């Protein structure tokens, strides 16, 4: 509904022009139908002309209704709506890699978040209480279906996704995604059975509702042979 209000409010002049053009054609249709009815000789001709007159009147009535609806929306409803209703929440492309540009709110959140001491199992780019993978840990061996745990809790949260790539590769494949913020909980599942054994990178990307992403949290894991 906000999108409809925004369209009606921002294209007010164009809509009035279209309605006026439609009204001109409707009036011309009504005038011709009335002339045909007035000069008709046979009753069948008069009946057809009368039917066309009714259709012309109905179309003009519809145009009048649309005109007043646009007038009320553009003059009273649209200006009174809060600006927050028109902040778009884009549909995320979970297969796209965010640009890495972050909003001032995210930058402030990073600056205000105390940085814990870096442990050997800490991931690259991970920020506690914002974007973090707590399991599996960096350097851990995994097999089968793995539970991905961590945190994605950023200002103006939009969505998150986690991806996998072979070690030293930039070819990331999206595993899954979510639309709800998570605080030290389950982010999703990862089935490693389709991957050949070896070293992999697992990354978590969080994006706000404007499509701006925090730098990715990346951990290195080793997929073991299936038992």
Note the pLDDT tens digit of each residue in 137-147: 989 999 999 99
Query: How far from 128 is each of 94, 109, 110, 118, 149, CA to CA, in Å?
Result: 23, 11, 9, 11, 13
Q: Each residue of 67-78: pLDDT tens digit?
A: 988 888 877 776
The answer to whether 142 and 118 have CB atoms below 8 angstroms apart is no
| Beta strand 198-208 pairing with 217-223 | antiparallel
Task: Report the length, in residues, of the chain.
Answer: 227
In this prediction, residue 77 carries a pLDDT of 75
The answer to whether 198 and 117 have CB atoms below 8 angstroms apart is no
Reply yes or no on whether the pLDDT at 107 is more than 70.
no
Task: Give CA–CA dist 141/226, Å, rounded.
Answer: 12
pLDDT > 70 fraction of the chain, expressed in percent and rounded: 76
In this prediction, residue 118 carries a pLDDT of 38
Q: Where are the domains of the chain?
A: 2-86, 104-223
CATH T-level topology, domain 104-223: Immunoglobulin-like (2.60.40)
Confidence of residue 2 (pLDDT cuts 50, 70, 90): low
Reply yes or no on whether the pLDDT at 182 is more than 70.
yes
User: Chain-centre distance of CA 73, in angstroms?
Assistant: 25
Q: Each residue of 149-160: pLDDT tens digit?
A: 999 998 888 899
């Amino acid at each position: 509904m906000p999108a409809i209000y925004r369209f009606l409010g921002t294209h007010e002049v164009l809509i009035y022009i279209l309605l006026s053009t439609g009204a001109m054609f409707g009036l011309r249709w009504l005038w011709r139908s009335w002339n045909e009815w007035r000069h008709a000789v046979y009753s069948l001709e008069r009946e057809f002309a009368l039917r066309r007159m009714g259709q012309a009147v109905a179309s003009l009535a519809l145009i009048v209704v649309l005109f007043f609806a646009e007038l009320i929306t553009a003059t009273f409803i649209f200006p009174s709506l809060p600006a927050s209703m028109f902040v778009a929440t884009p549909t995320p492309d979970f297969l796209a890699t965010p640009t890495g540009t972050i909003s001032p709110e995210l930058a402030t959140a990073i600056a205000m978040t105390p940085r814990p001491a870096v442990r050997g199992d800490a991931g690259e780019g991970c920020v506690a209480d914002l974007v973090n993978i707590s399991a599996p840990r960096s350097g851990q061996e995994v097999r089968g279906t793995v539970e991905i745990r961590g945190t994605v809790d950023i200002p103006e949260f939009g969505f998150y996704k986690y991806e996998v790539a072979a070690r030293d590769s930039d070819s990331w494949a999206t595993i899954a995604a979510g639309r709800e913020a998570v605080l030290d909980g389950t982010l999703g599942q990862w089935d490693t059975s389709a991957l050949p054994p070896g070293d992999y990178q697992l990354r978590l990307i969080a994006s706000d509702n404007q499509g701006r992403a925090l730098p990715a949290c990346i951990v290195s894991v080793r997929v073991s042979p299936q038992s």
